[in-house]
Amino acid sequence: MLLPDADALCLGFHGEYFGHWPSILKKPLDLILAKLRKWDLDSSQRVNFFLAISENVAQKIKNIYGRKVSRVIYPPVDTEFFTAQGRHNCKDYFLIVSALVPYKRINLAVEAFNRLGLPLIIIGEGPEKNRLERAALKNVKFLGWQAKDIIRRYYSQARALIFPERKILVSFPWKPKPWAVR
């Protein structure tokens, strides 16, 4: 069985994940990436079957390679460690735990919480962090990446979890309450 390198798949939506190249590098890197994309697409035709970690990734594989995913295998959740704590411990903040990259669309949450003035805590690191911090008002706090124990505490005490990404399927060891704010 021949599986493509994980980085090869990322070439199809590099800008969506990492942002865009500095303008001085754009032309030479675009030429190199065009050749790599062609090689990647050609190589994908020799793959026996594709596995994906979510329906979203399966759709990207279908869109980029024109191939159906054989199976979606969701990442495991440590249900012994991340358990529902009940709502008696709830604090007055909303929570995002995420890589701070363009396709996660954390900027939409920052804009929304700036307008609403509600408390938002963001745990994560990534190339968008500085830009997001500059855009955030005082009600939005960035904690950087945290240890598992601390993340668990924030999860268990959050009023709600925020997922601004376009399409997402997440496994939770508990049923989070859906929230919508207009």
- pLDDT for res 121: 98
DSSP state at residue 75: P
Per-residue pLDDT at 128 exceeds 90: yes
**Strand partners of residue 52:** 72
Identify the burial level of 111 via C-beta atoms within 10 angstroms of its C-beta, where 0-12 means exposed, 13-18 middle and 19 or more buried.
middle
Cα 84 off chain centre by? 22
* CATH number of the domain to which 106 belongs: 3.40.50.2000
Q: In this structure, are 11 and 66 located in the same domain? A: yes
Q: Is residue 170 part of a domain?
A: no
Per-residue pLDDT at 16 exceeds 60: no
- pLDDT for res 43: 87
Q: Is residue 172 part of a domain?
A: no
Give the pLDDT confidence of 21-57 residue by residue, as tens digits: 677 777 888 888 888 888 888 888 888 889 998 888 8
Q: Where are the alpha helices (DSSP H) in 73-127?
A: 106-116
Domain count, the chain: 2
- pLDDT for res 19: 59
Q: In this structure, are 55 and 111 located in the same domain? A: no
Give the pLDDT confidence of 48-106 residue by residue, as tens digits: 889 998 888 888 889 888 888 889 998 887 777 877 666 667 789 999 999 999 888 99
CA distance 123 to 99: 8
Q: In this structure, are 30 and 65 located in the same domain? A: yes
Residues 6+ apart with CB under 8 A from 182: none
